[in-house]
Structure 1
Amino acid sequence: MRIVTNQLCKNRVINVSKLLKKFRGVLINFGFYYLNPQAYEKFITFHYVSLLLASVFYFSKSPLVFSQNLNWVKRIAGQTGMHHLKGMTSDGSGNIFMVGHFEGTIDLDPGPGT
């Protein structure tokens, strides 16, 4: 486990991230967070969430620390449900495959949510 201090708001996060993967110039990170990083403009700030709420983040350059400026950040997950992503890979056609347990707020199919 790695404790990271956010220099913008001086909060602490315990990051047990599983992967930092580069895909077509985009870096993808997923893991469990005690404090939930969220993007506002070009910065990531932290907000308290329930323990073990997992999120998937993808961003345009590698943050060595969470306070580093980013070009953009997106998050796949909602504020409810437990999302436990266990693995991720991509194929030669540019498809990204994610496996794990998704509950409540992630809808990965391309059509209307069910």
Structure 2
Amino acid sequence: MKYLALTLLTTICFQVSAATHTYSQDNGVISRVYINPEGAIAVQLKQGFPKAKSDNQCPDGNGWAGLRMADNAIKSAILAAKSATISVTITTEGCEGAWFKIRDIYLN
């Protein structure tokens, strides 16, 4: 019985761990940028976020990925990529309100 309880607990821990550490990566060119005075920034990719959608990262997502309180490095990277029209890889993980939550950005 003790072995069964330990096995069940271990299985649950692995499943919860896997569920909380899922993320998606989408590639593309930034088509739109939203910024507000409170520090939020969000982006849309020309191709959208098909991987984040198929992975169900944010079921009620509105097609934007962003952060309500973004670090200045993230904001700078987004604005540089938009200005230079270069491809980016945006990693998303879950929701930030109705946005896919940005985990990190690669400038390609």
TM-score range, shorter chain: 0.3 to 0.5
TM-score, L = length of structure 2: 0.33
Q: Which has the higher strand share?
A: 1
Q: Which has the higher contact order (CA 8 A, sep 6+)?
A: 2
Q: Which has the higher helix share?
A: 2
Larger gyration radius, structure 1 or structure 2: 2
